[in-house]
Structure 1
Amino acid sequence: MASNHFSNYEGIYNIVHQPALIVAGCSVLVALVLSLFLIFQHLRSYTNPSEQKWIVAVISMVPIYATESIISLWNPRLSLACDILRNYYEAFALYSFGRYLISCLGGERKVVELLEDESEEHLEKPLLHDSDENNGTEQRSFCNFFWHPCRLGKDLLAIEKFGLVQYMILKTVCAFLAMILELFGVYGDGEFKWYYGYPYMAVVLNFSQIWALYCLVQFYNVTHERLQPIKPLAKFISFKAIVFATWWQGVGIALLCTFRVLPNDGKLQTGLQDFLICIEMAIAAVAHVFVFSAKPYNFVPVSSAHGRVTKETIEATLDIDEGGEHKPAVLKETTTQVEAPRTSVKESVQDIVVEGGQRVVKDVALTINQAIGPVEKGVTKIQKTFHKKTVVSSDDEEEESDIEIETNVTENLTAKESDDNEMV
C-alpha cells in the first residue's frame, strides 16, 4: 500500500510539475521586470539616501523571493538552501522597513524628540510633588508597551529596534543550525516530529516573528499621524502581507500535510509553497510600483541649488466686460520644479552597501549588548549574594571558634580553682 501511495504522489507531482513551472516562471518574469525597473528608478534618482536605501532593501524582497522560489520549484534538491536564504532575507526586510519608518520621521534623534513629546502629552501630572519619581516609574513601566505605548517615550524606540534585530539574529542562527542538522539528517523540513529540529525552530521563530511584528505595529500606532505624508498604511499592509503570506503559508501547508489533508510528500509540499510564492511575488511587484514609487524623489525643493530647473507656464484668455466693451485678458500660471540630479547606479549601490551595512552592524551590536546587560547584572547579583553568604558564614565560624575558646578557658580556670580548693 505504501508503495502504491508513493507512486500515486510521484505521478501527481510529475503531471502538475511542468504546467506549474510554466505558470510560476511567467509570474516570476513579471515580478523581476517590475521590481528591477523600480529599483533602477530609485538608484538613478537617489536624492534621499537615508530613506531610499531602505526602500531598495524592502523592494529587493520580491526579486529575491521570486528567484529562490522558481529555482526551488525547478530543482527540489535546492529547496532547503533556497528556503533558508529566503527566510533570512525576510528578517532583514522587516528590519529595513522599520529603519525606513525611522528615516521618514527624520532620524533617530527626531524620533526620540517626537516620542518624548507624545509621552509628556499622555502622562498625568501627580497631585503631590513627592510622587514625581514614583509616577514616572509607573508610567514608563514595560506593561505600558501593551496598553499605552505612547507613554514610553524614547524607550519605545529601543524596544522596537530590539524586537526587529532579535528576529534577524535568530533567523540567521536558525539558518545555520538548519544547515548543520540537515547534514546529520535530523532537521526534517516540514515534519512535526519530536526527533526532528524543524518543529522546535518553527516555534522559536514563530514567537520571534510575532514579537517583531508586534513591536513594529506598536511603533506605527504611535507615529502614524506624523507619517501621513508617505501614506504609511498602504506600505505597511503591502509589506506585512508578504511576510505573513510566506511564513504562515509554509507552516499551514506543513500542518495540512502532517494531518494528511494534503499528500504527505516532500516534493509536493515544497513545490506548492514555491508555486504560491511565485504567484504572490508578481502581485507584490505590481503593488510596490504604486506604493514605493520613485516619483517623489525625482524632484527636490525649489530652494535647492542643485538640479535642473524646469518651468511650466499655463495661459488662459478671458474676456472682461468694461463699460460695455469686451477686452481680452491673459492669465498666466507658472510652476517651477527643480529636477533632482541624476546619480550613477554604482554610487547609489555603494552607499546602500556601505552605509546600510554599518547601520546594521551598529544595531546588531547594540541589541546584543542590551540582551547581555541584564544577564551580566543577574550574574553579578548572584555573585554578590554568594559572597555575602560566604562572609556571613565565615564570621559565624569565627564567632563560634571564639565562643569555644572562651568556654575552654573558663572550664580550665574552673578546674584549676577546684584543684586548688582540694589541696587546701
Structure 2
Amino acid sequence: MVSSCPSDNTSEVDQSSFWSSGNLNWDQHRIGWAIAGGCAMLTVLISVISVSGHCRNYTKPSEQRQILRILYMPPVYAVISFFSYRYFRSYTYYSLIEAAYEAVTLSAFLLLLIEFVAATATGGDATKAIERKDKRPLPIPFCCWRYRPTKPYFMYTLKWSVLQYVIIRPAVSIAGIICQVYNVLCESGPYSIYYANVYLEAADFASISVALYGLLLFYGLTKEELVGRRPLAKFLSIKLIVMFTFYQSFVFSALEGRVIKATQYWTAANIADGLNALTICIEMVFFSVLMMWAYTVNEYKVPGNKKTSIWRPLWDSVNYWDFVTEIAGSLKFFFNHARGASSTHSSKKTDFAHAFGINGRSVADGGRSTEESIRLAPYPYSDPHNADSASPVLS
C-alpha cells in the first residue's frame, strides 16, 4: 500500500498582518523575516561592491567573466532564501531554484582554473601548459588506477565531468518543481520509492559527486601552475556554501518532530525550512566578504588604465553561450570517439589548448612574437585601454 505524503503546510492560515492595531506585530516569524531581509540586503550590497570593482577593472575578460558568475552566488542564495522564508508555503520551489545556481558556479570555477593554467604557459603558448605531465594515480578513492593526462579522451572527460552538472542540476530542479505541482515529490516526507524525491536526490548526489571529483582531479594535476592564484581559498569559498547549506538542512530536518514541534500555523517542516532559510541569509553576509577577499579585484587593477564600462562585463557574465560551446565540443569528441575517429584514439599527446578550447600560439614574425590569444566565447573582446591585452580568436 502506498503511504500518503504528509503536507508541508497547515490548512489554517495566519490572517494577521505585520501591522496590528496600528502597532508592529513582532512575533517570532516576523522578527526572523526582518533579520533575513536585512542580511539579504547587506549581502547584496557587499556583492555589488565586489562585482562593480571587477566590472570597472575588466582587464582580463576570460577570467573575470567566470569570477563575476561566482560572485553572484551569495546574493542569489541570500535573496532566494529570504523569499523562501517570507513565503514559506512555497519553500520547495525556491529551494529547487536556489540549488540550480550551484551548477553554474562550479562550472564557472572550472573554466576559471583553465584560464589560470593557460596564463602560466611558457612563452604565452598554452600548448606548453600540460605536455610535461606524466602518468599518475587518480585521487582517492580510485587511487588504484593511473591515468595519463595527455591522452585525448582524458582531458575531454575531465571537462565533461564538471560541465555535466550544469545540465543535470537544472534538470533535477525542473523535474522537482513539476513533481511538486502534481504532489508526487514528497520532499518533507520519508524516503519512498513511490515518490520522486528519492530518485531526484540520487541523481543530484551522483552528478555533484562526479563534478567535485573532476575539480579535485584538475587541481591535483595543475596545482604547480596555480601557485599564487589562491585556488584553494577560491574553491573553499564556494564549497563551504554548498557544505553549510547541505548539512544544516540535514540537521534541521533531523530535528523535525523531535526538537522542532508544529504550531498552529507552521508545520514542523515549515519551521525546519524556515530556520534553514534564515541561517543561509545570515551566513551569506560572511561568505560575500570571503569571496570579496578570495576573488580580489586588486589582481586585475592596472595603474593608469581608464575604468571600463560595467555593461559589457555584466552581459558577459549572464551570457552562458560559452557553457553551450564547451558542452557541445565535448559531446562532439565523444561522438567521434564512438565512431572510431583516429584523432580521438591516437596515442599522440593532445595539448591543453585544444582539449580545453583555448587557442594559444607563439609565432616568430620578423623578430616579434605573437602574444597568446585566448577565446572569450561567443564573441571577441578587446580592451582599447590595455595595449598588452590579447586579441581573442574564435575557434
With normalisation by structure 2, the TM-score equals 0.70
Q: Which residue of 2 aligns with 1:238?
A: 237
CA contact (8 A) 2:253 2:269 kept: no
State which of 43, 57, 74 in structure 1 corresponds to 2:69: 57
Q: Map residues 202-351 of structure 1 onto 2, 5 A cutoff.
A: 202-257=201-256, 260=258, 262-263=260-261, 265-299=268-302, 338-351=303-316
1:359 aligned partner: 322
* Cα distance per residue 1:267-303 (max 9 Å; x no partner): 112212211111111110111121111111111xxxx
The 1-side partners of 2:221 and 2:186 are apart by: 41
Q: How does the TM-score come out when normalised to structure 1? A: 0.65
The Cα of 1:369 is off from its aligned counterpart by 4.7
Which amino acid in 1 is paired with 2:40? Answer: V
Tell me whether 1:22 sits opposite 2:34 in the alignment: yes
2:175 alignment partner in structure 1: 177
Distance change (3 Å), C-alpha of 1:351 and 1:15: closer
State the partner residue of 1:116. 131
Which residue is 1:311 aligned to? none
Q: Pick closer, same or farther for the CA change 1:262–1:49 going to 2, 3 Å.
A: same
Query: Distance between the aligned counterparts of 1:114 and 1:202, measured in 2?
Result: 38
Shift of the 144–369 alpha-carbon distance from structure 1 to 2, 3 Å rule, reads farther
Could you tell me how far 1:161 is from its partner in structure 2? 1.5
Matched, 1:37 2:49: yes
CA–CA separation in structure 2 for the residues paired with 1:143 and 1:280:
31
Separation in structure 1 between the aligned mates of residue 334 and residue 259 of structure 2, nearest angstrom: 41
Residue 106 of structure 1 aligns to a residue whose secondary structure is helix
Deviation at 1:186, TM superposition (A): 0.7
Aligned to 1:151: 148
In our comparison, the structure showing a higher alpha carbon Rg is: 1
| TM-aligned CA deviation for residue 373 of structure 1 | 7.1
The alignment of Structure 1 onto Structure 2 pairs a total of residues equal to: 311
2:368 alignment counterpart:
none
Q: What SS does the aligned partner of 2:36 have? A: helix
The alpha carbon displacement at 1:15 in A equals 4.5
> Which protein, 1 or 2, shows the higher relative CO under an 8 Å CA cutoff with sep ≥ 6?
2
Cα drift, residue 223 of structure 1: 1.3
Uncovered stretches (5+) of structure 1, i.e. residues with no partner: 124-138, 300-337, 378-424
Q: Tell me if structure 2 keeps the 8 A contact 1:191–1:254.
A: no
Give RMSD over aligned pairs.
3.3
Higher helix share: 1
Aligned counterpart, 1:101: 113
Cα distance in 1, alignment partners of residues 202 and 275 from structure 2: 22
Matched AA of 2:159: K
1:67 deviation in Å? 0.6
For 1:186-201, list aligned pairs within 5 A: 186-194=184-192, 195-201=194-200
Q: Aligned partner of 1:43: which letter? A: C
Alpha-carbon distance between aligned partners in 1 of 2:88 and 2:216, rounded to the nearest angstrom? 36
Any stretches of 5+ residues in structure 2 without a counterpart? 1-5, 15-25, 262-266, 341-395
Question: Equivalent residue for 1:306?
Answer: none
Most deviating of 51-60 and 22-31:
22-31
1:115/1:150 contact within 8 Å kept? no
CA-to-aligned-CA distance 1:111-146 (integer Å, 9 cap, x gap):
664333112xx57xxxxxxxxxxxxxxx9x999964
AA aligned opposite 2:307: R
Question: 2:206 & 2:120 partners in 1: Cα distance?
Answer: 27
1: distance between equivalents of 2:107 and 2:284? Answer: 19
Question: Contact between 1:182 and 1:188, CA under 8 Å: does it hold in 2?
Answer: yes
- The code of the aligned residue for 2:274 comes to G
